[in-house]
Amino acid sequence: MALSYKARKGLALLILLVGLPIYVVVAVNLIDLFDRPPILVELLIYLSLGVIWALPFRTIFRGIGQEDPDARKSD
């Protein structure tokens, strides 16, 4: 079952405002568990984690910045 535009927009907002900060804290604390790697390796880790978090949510984020396709245009 496909989510409506409003449901996807609300879910995307929830993911960005709640889920992303939690993910950042977990990622930083996970890196701190081990000895700190060299700066370039650490940068590569953070860049890859920055891309990986969005992959499962790409269907939710797709088309959110566009006009609501379900809205009726009144002339």
Domain assignment present for residue 75? The answer is no
Domain assignment present for residue 68? The answer is no
Q: Report the alpha-carbon distance of residue 11 to residue 5 in Å, rounded.
A: 10
Domain that holds residue 38: 25-60
Domain assignment present for residue 50? The answer is yes
Domain assignment present for residue 39? The answer is yes
Instruction: pLDDT tens for the chain, 75 residues: list them.
Output: 688 888 899 999 999 999 999 999 998 998 888 888 899 998 999 999 989 998 999 988 888 888 888 777 654
Domain assignment present for residue 49? The answer is yes
Domain assignment present for residue 41? The answer is yes
What is the number of structural domains in the chain? 1
The residue behind tokens 């953070």 is 46
Domain assignment present for residue 19? The answer is no
C-alpha pair distances (Å), 47 with each of 9, 14, 27, 51, 55: 25, 22, 11, 7, 13
